[in-house]
Amino acid sequence: MVQDYDVHDNTFSHINTENNEHNSMFFLVGNGKFYNNRINNHQGNALRDWVVSVGDTPKSVEIFNNIVVESRGSILLSKLNLSSVS
């Protein structure tokens, strides 16, 4: 799990195109920023993000200015509930 990640200015092209498995270029758990990325012609999601805050102060995830083309999926967000984890 990562707090305050800052993923930006990446370019990926023609990755995993011969495979039918649904993978992600980025799989993040935590909170932070994902921006200015260009991902094209790949199999799967550009980003899978499990959003979570640590402690009592809510944190946010900011996703902006990304280009995802010729992909099976783009961005998938899920909320991770740590109160149910012991």
Task: Express each pLDDT in 5-24 by its tens digit.
Answer: 999 999 989 887 777 777 78
Is residue 86 one of the residues assigned to a domain? no
Q: Please state the domain count of the chain.
A: 1
Instruction: Provide the pLDDT confidence category of residue 85 given band limits of 50, 70 and 90.
Output: very low
Is residue 48 one of the residues assigned to a domain? yes
Residue 60, domain extent = 2-81
Is residue 44 one of the residues assigned to a domain? yes
Instruction: Provide the pLDDT confidence category of residue 80 given band limits of 50, 70 and 90.
Output: low
Euclidean distance between CA atoms 5 and 32, whole angstroms: 4
Is residue 69 one of the residues assigned to a domain? yes
Is residue 31 one of the residues assigned to a domain? yes
Is residue 60 one of the residues assigned to a domain? yes
pLDDT surpassing 60 at residue 82: no
Is residue 15 one of the residues assigned to a domain? yes
In DSSP terms, 63 is beta-bridged to 34
Is residue 61 one of the residues assigned to a domain? yes
> pLDDT at position 8, please?
97
Query: CA-based Rg of the chain, rounded to a whole angstrom?
Result: 14
Question: In degrees, to the nearest 5, what angle opens at C-alpha 52 toward C-alphas 27 and 48?
Answer: 20
Residues 39-74: tens digit of each pLDDT:
888 888 888 888 887 778 888 889 999 998 887 777
Euclidean distance between CA atoms 71 and 83, whole angstroms: 34
